[in-house]
Structure 1
Amino acid sequence: MMKNIVFETSLGPVEGWRDGNVVRATGIPYAKASRYHLPEEVAISPLPFPAGKKSPACPQNPSRKTRALLGRDILEGITLTEDCQYLSITLPGIPPPPSGWPVMVWVYGGSYTSGAGDSPVYDPYPLVEENEVIVVSINYRLGVMGFLGGYHNIPANLGLLDIMAALKWIQKHIPAFGGDPGNVTLFGQSAGGDAIAHLMLAEDVGELFHKVIIQSAPLGIRKNRAAMIRKMISHAITTAGSADIEDLLKLQSDLVLSMKRFGIKGGMPFGVQYGHYPLPPEKDAEKIWRQRSGQWKVLIGWTERETSVFVPFDKKLKAVGRIPGLGKPVLEWLIRKTTDRIYRNPGKVFASDIAAGGGVVYRYSIHWGDRNSGIRAAHISDISLLFGRKGLWESSAFSQGKSPEELEQAGREIRQIWCRFARTGALDEHRKIPGIIEYRRVHAS
């Protein structure tokens, strides 16, 4: 049996393990919090701490849609528990440079109601092996447990505060794993990207991170959510507190369904709450992003046809696509318009705000996918390129019409760009890789 690899942290020794060309230290508690309480750093026990299990994730309802798209269960091998403040570290299997490895912190998406840092679909093995970076995958509270507060003395934004607690732990302890606490990049997709954008507004973030990669953040639905949140609270106010987890998850499911009356924003009813610590009032968001623009270097983008991922699950959209002659052009128009409204246009505004404030910001668009696939260049397509060992994504909807070799090559290109940005904060002024990605530096107008 291979001897465990010991990391000497200020909390005590942590025993990791070698996995091929990388080293893992998994399932490490970064904080602890009882239901609806603030996270507090916790000592690890026993010592030496055996960091060999996957991090447990926040309780959540299963997603039939996600399983259909990915061809597998995202929670495969994951334990669900309210005690979910854990992180996992993947690092190169070679000695670090004197300055330490660049650190990339993954914040998963899932509409603020689902996800797990150690899901097999988020395996950072290729990122770490190919590019010699450290990837830290974190878990945080979700849904009614993490992103609905402001009543019964329940704090709002507990999931966001969990992420901040994880970043504080990383600042203190990542040097023991060979990481550079002065070079930390947050990267996250969908709700994860949205959370990162809002961390850039938060109080008390200080020097917790230095660069951000915001992938497919639905910034177009971040405004004017107060009425919806009040309605959600009115439903939740009698169920919180001592309710068992099954009742909480049923409440969460009922809220997701009932908030559809609020239109597009009701498609992701849970989220951050402005005006509650650590976030400012909604009206101040753009001003603060501009004021802080020099604090972080930014890479922000989207996939070319984000909302095409929802077509297979919407009877009306599928019917539109089947109309003879006009169906496909009309469906493409709808996909383009909704992608513009939710992702692309607000993303461009965000990038312009950062540039106007004097910050360094790049904007990208991913075009990956077979032209005959209905969900090519869709929401989540970027995840298939960033993560997972060979074979993981070949049965997913995002790889239809593409060979394993094409998937591997495109993935290497994306991973190299992401890690170059994480290492230096600088990319080419403009670059296009046909059929994969195009990006450019955004300058103040």
Structure 2
Amino acid sequence: MWAVGLVLLAFGSAHGLVRLDPLVDSPAGLIRGLRADDGEYAMFLGIPYAQVQEDNPFGASIPQPKFDTIFDAFNDSTVCPQVEEYENTIVGSLDCLQLNIYVPNKASSRSKLPVLVWIHGGGFTIGYTSRFIYGPKYLVRHDVILIALNYRVGPYGFFCLDTPEIPGNQGLKDQVLALRWIRDNIAAFGGDVDKITVMGESAGGASIEYHLLSKYEKLFNQAITQSGSTYLPGVLEEDRRSKPLKIAAQLGFDTEDVTEAVEFLAKTDVKLVIAATTELGVPIRPCLEKEFENVDSILTDYPINLDMPKARNINVLVGFNNKEQLLGYVFMPAEQFKNLNVFEEALQTTFVYDEELKEMKDIVRRFYIGDEELSEALRDNLIDFQSDHNFAFPIQQTLKRYLKNGAKNVYHYMFSYSGDRNFVKKRLNVTAPGAAHADELGYLYDLAYETEAPTEADQLVIDRITALWTNFAKYGDPTPETSDLLPVKWSPITEQTYTYLNIDSELSVSTRPYNDRMAFWELFFEVNKNKLKGYREN
């Protein structure tokens, strides 16, 4: 299986068997992994692909040098600096640019397997790739190699200061170095360098589109984006240079000089920087970069103005969940509804909000709630509005862009299943029907904190969605043939017909999810396109 063969590590106890752990001779050097105990695959954990510069931790990272000795890839606990969402504690270090590789035993130089590369979500503020959340066994059993990568989030990944040293989008550039490492090394693990599918959820899905929009070389062959798009409102950073000043002041260093603030923060403990950023509640996200000579950039114009030539002739799988914004209102006390200003606040994230658009706001309001006063009785209406504005319609725009730019096959889905493994609803004990944002993750990945075996119904959804995703990675077609497991044929969309697969307790194929609501938004955007933030006539 492996390039240098198998290295004796330890003796098994039950039957006197020898346990063999893999050693791979890659261009990056010798890398030793572990045998998994929950399936027929090997794990290579915490492989560094890049290094953060010690004197400029907010700037671009540099590629990891070749290993001089055997690297023991045994530890996936490293996290980039952030507030960890499970314990709500500040964790992490800058020695975090690592990836995990999970390789089925049948992979070899003669039998190369397709590669799935996972880019996690988390609003560009949190997220990491350990098996605690992203256990690989459901995916690798389908004979694909799975890779999950860390990248810097928050201020270390997305300070955008309009300087050559910190131009912005460093976290996305970390991902580029990871993808280059995978391109250069994955063949040594038995991976097919010509079958690399990048997949991501939320910020991870948006990241994939940023890579397709960028001028960097093409580093993958196919893409799966789950509830993520560069069209999602409010993603791009607007207030940029003031962030370091505010964070430094929060830590007791007052200055009006951004360079001084950054120099102070570069020498400050990373956990203090994250704590101050969190206390201030200042979001730090991707931005439009100012161009500098000899400095590579990801994004220098608003996505709405850009074509995506790298999408030509690639296969993409794109979708969203049917109740994306369920959690925005499910816990809201009844008395708070009357004070909401949701329609105006939402439109302000997407449009330049002038008096003319202020009048148009009432059209949106009437479409979703008529002449009713906001109240708890309209909870579902508000969930639909926010889900449409923030996810469903932006993703419809994404589908249209893929078609316009000549993508080969564009598969569209909606995840609607409500079971015992819905990723977010289960953790927050939400029983309302539907799938909230990120709920599908509990069916793609083995969650280490889940101690109970999946129910029969949940196992069927696990089997189906992992088969669909890995079929796409292998064949560019999620249903190359129908079967008892996948009884329907899922066809790609066309200019005329937006076919989609509804993933629920049963699989079903239909056209144009929420067609009346999407048609409303299409017309609204067309009428007001000159007011879209960043829009310019071509």
TM-score with structure 2 length normalisation? 0.69
Asked whether the 8 Å contact 1:22–1:92 carries over to 2, the reply is yes
Partners in 2 of 1:385 and 1:437 — Cα distance? 15
Asked whether the 8 Å contact 2:49–2:97 carries over to 1, the reply is yes
Structure 2 residue 313 is the aligned partner of structure 1 residue 249? no
The residue number in structure 1 matching 2:204 is 192
- Secondary structure of 1:306's partner? coil
Partners in 1 of 2:233 and 2:93 — Cα distance? 28
> Which of 284, 287, 307 is the aligned partner of 1:273?
287
The residue number in structure 1 matching 2:343 is none
Structure 2 residue 418 is the aligned partner of structure 1 residue 369? yes
The residue number in structure 2 matching 1:51 is 73
Correspondences of 1:156-167 after superposition (within 5 Å): 156-167=168-179
> What are the Cα deviations for residues 352-402 of structure 1, in whole angstroms up to 9, with x where unaligned?
11112221212110001059922631111110110016872859xxxxxxx
Partners in 2 of 1:218 and 1:284 — Cα distance? 10
> What are the Cα deviations for residues 294-318 of structure 1, in whole angstroms up to 9, with x where unaligned?
1532111110001113335544698
The residue number in structure 1 matching 2:47 is 28
Structure 2 residue 324 is the aligned partner of structure 1 residue 306? yes
Q: What amino acid is aligned across from residue 418 of structure 1 in structure 2? A: W
The residue number in structure 1 matching 2:21 is 4
The residue number in structure 1 matching 2:62 is 40
- The structure-2 alpha-carbon separation of the partners of 1:246 and 1:57, relative to structure 1 and needing over 3 Å to count, comes to closer
Partners in 2 of 1:421 and 1:74 — Cα distance? 36
- The structure-2 alpha-carbon separation of the partners of 1:226 and 1:95, relative to structure 1 and needing over 3 Å to count, comes to closer
> Which of 209, 231, 238 is the aligned partner of 1:227?
238
Identity %: 25
> Which of 430, 443, 467 is the aligned partner of 1:385?
443
The residue number in structure 1 matching 2:464 is 413
Q: What amino acid is aligned across from residue 188 of structure 2 in structure 1? A: A
Partners in 1 of 2:474 and 2:464 — Cα distance? 15
- Offset at residue 220 of structure 1 (A): 4.7
The residue number in structure 1 matching 2:115 is 103
RMSD: 3.0
The residue number in structure 1 matching 2:455 is 404
The residue number in structure 2 matching 1:264 is none
How many residues align structurally? 406
Asked whether the 8 Å contact 1:370–1:376 carries over to 2, the reply is no
- Offset at residue 41 of structure 1 (A): 1.8
The residue number in structure 2 matching 1:331 is 379
- Offset at residue 288 of structure 1 (A): 1.9
- Secondary structure of 2:64's partner? coil
> Which of 47, 66, 82 is the aligned partner of 1:60?
82
Partners in 1 of 2:504 and 2:237 — Cα distance? 42
> Which of 120, 128, 137 is the aligned partner of 1:116?
128
Asked whether the 8 Å contact 2:334–2:375 carries over to 1, the reply is no
- The structure-2 alpha-carbon separation of the partners of 1:244 and 1:287, relative to structure 1 and needing over 3 Å to count, comes to same
- Offset at residue 94 of structure 1 (A): 2.1
Partners in 2 of 1:439 and 1:107 — Cα distance? 28
- Offset at residue 208 of structure 1 (A): 0.9
Structure 2 residue 232 is the aligned partner of structure 1 residue 216? no
- The structure-2 alpha-carbon separation of the partners of 1:304 and 1:219, relative to structure 1 and needing over 3 Å to count, comes to farther
Q: What amino acid is aligned across from residue 435 of structure 1 in structure 2? A: S
- Offset at residue 207 of structure 1 (A): 3.1
Asked whether the 8 Å contact 2:172–2:207 carries over to 1, the reply is yes
- Secondary structure of 1:120's partner? coil
- Structure 1: gaps of 5 or more residues: 68-72, 260-268, 321-325, 396-402
Deviates more, 1:246-255 or 1:295-304: 246-255
Deviates more, 1:216-225 or 1:234-243: 216-225
- The structure-2 alpha-carbon separation of the partners of 1:220 and 1:439, relative to structure 1 and needing over 3 Å to count, comes to farther
- Secondary structure of 1:344's partner? helix
Structure 2 residue 150 is the aligned partner of structure 1 residue 139? yes
Q: Which has the larger radius of gyration?
A: 2
Deviates more, 1:411-420 or 1:117-126: 117-126
- The structure-2 alpha-carbon separation of the partners of 1:336 and 1:436, relative to structure 1 and needing over 3 Å to count, comes to farther
Asked whether the 8 Å contact 1:18–1:93 carries over to 2, the reply is no
- Which structure: greater helix fraction? 1
- Secondary structure of 1:163's partner? helix
Correspondences of 1:310-321 after superposition (within 5 Å): 310-312=328-330, 314-315=332-333
